[in-house]
Amino acid sequence: MAYQEPIHLDVAATRQEPFASIAAAIGYTGRTMKLVAAANPVTLGSRYWDGGTRSTWTLFDLATLRRLPLGNVPGFQDPPQFGGLARNPQLQVEAGQVLVEHAIFCGKDMGLRVYAAPATLAPMLPAAVELSEGEAVVLIVTSRLKGSYGGRKPRHEAAARHGIDAAAFEKIRADLAKRGLLTTQGAITATGRNAIAGHPLRNRID
C-alpha cells in the first residue's frame, strides 16, 4: 500500500478505535473515513457554505481525544467577505494531533478525512495484505466497474483480458469475501481498497 494514499476505514462496521470515538465526538454516524498523511501545513478550506459545499474542521489531541481550539489560527473564524484573509488559513498538524475534516460536497456527505503527521499515523496503519496477481486483478476491476451493465459483465470482461475467466473470477471473488476484502455481495470493502492502494497492476488494468 502506498503510504501517500488515503487509508480507507469503515468505522461503523469495525468500531475501530480511536476512530469510532472521534466520529462520535463530532456526531458523525456514517461509514466513510479516510486517514491521510498530513502534507503540512494543511489548508483549511471550504469553511462556509458555497453551492452546497462545506467542510467542518476539528482538531483533537489523540491521546486524550480532547478538542483543541482552532480559533487562534489566523483567518479561521472570519471569511474573506467579512474582513478575513483573502486565502484559506493553514494549520501545522503536530505529532500527537489529528485534524478531522467532515466534508459535504454539492449536498453529498463525503465522510471524514483524518489528517495526521506521519509519525502519528504510522502506528495506526493497517497491516499489509498479501495478494496474488489474480486476487489483485479481481479487486481492481471490482473497485472500478459494475458487475453487470446492459446485459454484459464488465468485471468478467476486464479480468479475462488478464487471463482470468469467469469461473476463476467467481472462485477468487468468493475467497476474497472470506478474507473480508469483498462483501458477500461482491462489493469491495475498505480493507480491499487499502490492499490495492499503490499496487503496480492498477496502472495496467483498464
pLDDT at 19: 86
pLDDT at 83: 64
- Indicate the pTM of the whole model: 0.70
Q: Which residues face 114 on adjacent strands?
A: 35, 100
Q: What is the mean pLDDT of residues 118-143?
A: 89
Answer whether residue 12 shows pLDDT above 60. no
pLDDT at 1: 38
- Please give, one letter per residue, the 3-state secondary structure of the chain: CCCCCCEEEEHHHHCCCCHHHHHHHCCCCCCEEEEEECCCCEECCCCCCECCEEEEEEEEECCCCEEECCCCCCCCCCCHHHCCCCCCCEECCCCCEEEEEEEEECCEEEEEEEEECHHHHHHHCCCCCCCCHHHHHHHHHHHHCCCCECCECHHHHHHHCCCCCHHHHHHHHHHHHHCCCECCCCCECHHHHHHHCCCHHHHCCC
Residue 65 exposed, middle or buried by CB count within 10 Å (0-12, 13-18, 19+): middle
51 contacts 45 by C-beta, under 8 angstroms: no
* Cα–Cα distance measured from residue 175 to residue 108, given in angstroms and rounded to the nearest whole number: 33
- Residue-wise pLDDT for 34-62, tens only, equals 888 888 899 998 888 888 999 999 999 99
List the single range of 63-67, 88-92, 96-100, 155-159 with lowest mean pLDDT.
88-92
145 contacts 155 by C-beta, under 8 angstroms: yes
Q: Which three cell numbers stand for residue 51?
A: 453551492
- Residue-wise pLDDT for 146-175, tens only, equals 988 888 999 999 999 999 999 999 999 999
Could you give the count of Cα atoms lying within 13 Å of 146 in the half-sphere of its Cβ?
A: 6
